[in-house]
Structure 1
């Protein structure tokens, strides 16, 4: 559970029986919506397109799309290089008429924080990841007001 009491459910891509069960349970308890996370590769985008259709058919509001693993940030010079592809999440958001919330790169400095209680916002406040996360939170605040 997040600090506000909102459930966060991380599921693998697709529309399996597990997704159907989760959606049914969320509808019973009330659901603010889904934030869809994708990587920029076409194979991932295909799965996410299906997930978006699934959410729409089941009446789950899609709050927005986040593109993850879009580029690799060099831990020495902080230059970002696209190693898979880029803009897939933004293009999908436009295509599906869903808000694009942000694009996160792979940053090994952030990976070091995994499994700790450290926040990227505190430990790497000037990183691209921290900036994108702050922007996503601001967009979510605006969406929740509307």
Structure 2
């Protein structure tokens, strides 16, 4: 009686899903430390909402659950949230501008508006060096974003 020896299957490369994903870019939000909790959440939501329109590569693919229910795509990478004092925000705003990074800004004046038209008018009414920045979102290469955030600390 002879038996055939079947060779063991060759090892398969690690699947894409199992391999850690590394990004050479960073999405970061910097909030002024004196904001109320509801303001922090609101400002963060507003700030990140524009990044995908300016930098579409930050948006992942749509997803669906096991039942096939579709959901909108989200960012393809984490959003890191930082905080700092007024001086830190002012400096970060200037550094983001000087590096020409995609950015969005939220000023204290926007807490008194209720729509996009009035938000844009409130920002447009103030020269860039006089904006009372309470939040900024920035996207770009990790090292450039890290330089913009100098002096900020991770949000607790």
Larger helix percent: 1
TM range (shorter): under 0.3
Q: Provide TM-score, normalisation by structure 1.
A: 0.24
Point out which structure has higher relative CO (alpha carbons under 8 A, 6+ apart): 2
Which is higher, the Rg of structure 1 or of structure 2? 2
Larger strand percent: 2
